[in-house]
C-alpha cells in the first residue's frame, strides 16, 4: 500500500509540474505541502521525492527546499491539461478493475493520462482526493461517489470544480443534489428483474438484503419492492435487512440471529450485489442451509466470483468494462467538443441464470 501511495505521488508531481507550467529552477512544494495534499507520512513523501530526483524531475537543496529540474519539461511533459482524475470507491477487487480498465483504455487512446485515487467509500478520503486533483490541475474528473445516499460535506469542492470549468462525470451513482451526468446500470430495473425471476420460479416468500448508505442500494430496493407489489406481496418492506457498507460483515456475524430469522421465513433472497450474495452462500453453508434446495439466492453485478463460488450464482449483469469506456467517452466529449449534454447514460440490465435458484 505504501509503495502504491509513493508512486501515486510521483505521477501526481509530474502532472502538477506540467499542468502549472513550471520551469527549471522554479521552487517546488515542500514536504509538508505534499504530506497535507496526499494525507500520507513524511517517509512516503521522501520516497517519492527521491524517485523524482533520480529521474531529474526535481532537485533538492539542503536548507532551501525543492526545485524543478530540466527533466520535468521534456516534450512528453509539456502538454498541459491532458490529465484526467479518476476517483473510485475501490479498485483492486470485485467489478472495479474492469471498470477502471475501461476508463483507462479510452483515455489512453484519446491522448489523456489518468490519475487514480481510491476513497474506500469514505467522504473524508473523497475530499482529500478532490482537493489533490483540483490543486494538481486536472482537466476533468470521473467520480464514483462515496456513500451517495447520505449528506455529503464535499458540495463546496464540486462547486469549485464548476466555477473552474472542470467537467465531471459520475459513474455507478450520483449524489441526489448533483446535476452532473452519470453513467450507470438501471439499478431499479436490476432489483426488479432479480425479484421477478424468483417469482417466476414459483416462490412467494422472498426477502431482500440492501445497502442503506448508497443510492444503488435504494434503487435496487425500489425495484425489488415494485416486483413484490406486482406479484401480490404487500409486506415486502418487513422482509428486508439493511446494512451500512462499512459494516456489511455484521449482517453475517453480530446480525446473524436476525438473518436466520429472516431466512426461516423465506424461500428466496435478492441480494444488493454478488459480494453480499456470496457471503450469504457461505453463511448458509455454515448453518446447514442448502442452496438452492432450502433457499434460492439472486445477486446483482455478475462479478468474477459469480461463476466460481460453491453454487454458481444467478445474478443481474453489470456492464463493467463497457461502463468504464462509456464514462470516459462521455467526459472526453465534454472536454473536446464543449458539449453541454448532461444527460445520463443508463445501461439496461440482463439476467444471468445459473444454479442458485430452484423452481418450486
- Quick one: average pLDDT of 82-104? 91
Q: Which of the four pLDDT bands, split at 50, 70 and 90, describes residue 12?
A: confident
- pTM, full prediction: 0.78
pLDDT, tens only, 27-76:
899 988 888 888 888 888 888 888 888 888 898 888 788 888 876 655 44
CATH topology match: 2-76 vs 80-185+321-347: no
**Which CATH code fits 187-318?**
3.40.50.2300
Handedness of CA 253, 255, 260, 266 (dihedral sign): negative
Strands 296-301 and 268-271: parallel
How far lies 307's CA from each of 96, 304, 347, in Å? 17, 7, 22
Distance separating alpha carbons of residues 117 and 119, to the nearest angstrom = 7
Query: CA 249, CA 133: separation in Å to the nearest integer?
Result: 32
Domain 2-76 has CATH 1.10.10.10: yes
3.40.50.2300, 3.30.43.10, 3.90.1720.10, 3.40.50.300: CATH of 80-185+321-347: 3.40.50.2300
Measured between alpha carbons, how far is 109 from 198 in angstroms, rounded to an integer? 42
Q: What is the largest CA-CA distance in the chain?
A: 77
Structural domain spans, the chain:
2-76, 80-185+321-347, 187-318
All three cell numbers of 99, joined, read 471498470
Q: No. of H helices and E strands in the chain?
A: 11, 14
What are 181-209's pLDDT values in tens digits? 999 999 999 999 999 999 999 999 999 99
CA end-to-end span of the chain = 48
pLDDT digits (tens, 9 = 90+) for 145-158: 999 999 989 999 99
Distances (CA, A) of 296 to 200, 210, 228: 13, 16, 16
Structural Rg of the chain based on CA atoms? 23
Q: Evaluate whether 199 touches 231 at the Cβ level (below 8 Å).
A: yes
> CA-to-CA distance for 320 and 230, rounded, in angstroms?
30
The answer on pLDDT for 111 being more than 90 is: no
Instruction: Give the whole-angstrom CA distance, residue 236 versus residue 229.
Output: 8
CA angle 188, 315, 101 (to 5 degrees): 85
What DSSP letter does each residue of 20-68 carry, written as one string?
TT--TT-B---HHHHHHHHT--HHHHHHHHHHHHHTTSEEEETTTEEEE
Amino acid at each position: 500500500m505504501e509503495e502504491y501511495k509513493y508512486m501515486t505521488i510521483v505521477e501526481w508531481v509530474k502532472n502538477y509540474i506540467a499542468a502549472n507550467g513550471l520551469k527549471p529552477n522554479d521552487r517546488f512544494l515542500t514536504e509538508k505541502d505534499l504530506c497535507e495534499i496526499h494525507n500520507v507520512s513524511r517517509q512516503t513523501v521522501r520516497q517519492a521525492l527521491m524517485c523524482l530526483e533520480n529521474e531529474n524531475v526535481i532537485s533538492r537543496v539542503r536548507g532551501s527546499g525543492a526545485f524543478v529540474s530540466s527533466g520535468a519539461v521534456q516534450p512528453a511533459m509539456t502538454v498541459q491539461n491532458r490529465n484526467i482524475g479518476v476517483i473510485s470507491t475501490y479498485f483492486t477487487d470485485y467489478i472495479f478493475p474492469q471498470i477502471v480498465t475501461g476508463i483507462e483504455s479510452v483515455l489512453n487512446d484519446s491522448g489523456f493520462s489518468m490519475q487514480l485515487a481510491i476513497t474506500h467509500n469514505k467522504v473524508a478520503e473523497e475530499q482529500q482526493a478532490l482537493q489533490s486533483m483540483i490543486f494538481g490541475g486536472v482537466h476533468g474528473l470521473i467520480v464514483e461517489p462515496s456513500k451517495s445516499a447520505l449528506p455529503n460535506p464535499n458540495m463546496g469542492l464540486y462547486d469549485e470544480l464548476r466555477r473552474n470549468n472542470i467537467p465531471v462525470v459520475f459513474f455507478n451513482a450520483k449524489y441526489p443534489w448533483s446535476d452532473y451526468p452519470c453513467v450507470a446500470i438501471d439499478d431499479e430495473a436490476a432489483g426488479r428483474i432479480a425479484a421477478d425471476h424468483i417469482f417466476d420460479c414459483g416462490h412467494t416468500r422472498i426477502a431482500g438484503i440492501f445497502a442503506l448508505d448508497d443510492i444503488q442500494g435504494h434503487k435496487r430496493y425500489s425495484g425489488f419492492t415494485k416486483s413484490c407489489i406486482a406479484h401480490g406481496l404487500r409486506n415486502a418492506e418487513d422482509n428486508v435487512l439493511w446494512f451500512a457498507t462499512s459494516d456489511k460483515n455484521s449482517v453475517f456475524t453480530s446480525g446473524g440471529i436476525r438473518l436466520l430469522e429472516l431466512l426461516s421465513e423465506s424461500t428466496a433472497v435478492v441480494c444488493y450485489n454478488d459480494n453480499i450474495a456470496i457471503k450469504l452462500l457461505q453463511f448458509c453453508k455454515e448453518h446447514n442451509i442448502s442452496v438452492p434446495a432450502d433457499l434460492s439466492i439472486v445477486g446483482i453485478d455478475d462479478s468474477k466470483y459469480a461463476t466460481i463460488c460453491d453454487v454458481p450464482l444467478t445474478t443481474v449483469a453489470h456492464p463493467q468494462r463497457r461502463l468504464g469506456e462509456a464514462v470516459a467517452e462521455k467526459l472526453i466529449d465534454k472536454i473536446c467538443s464543449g458539449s453541454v449534454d448532461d444527460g445520463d447514460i443508463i445501461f439496461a440490465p440482463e439476467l444471468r441464470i445459473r444454479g442458485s435458484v430452484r423452481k418450486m
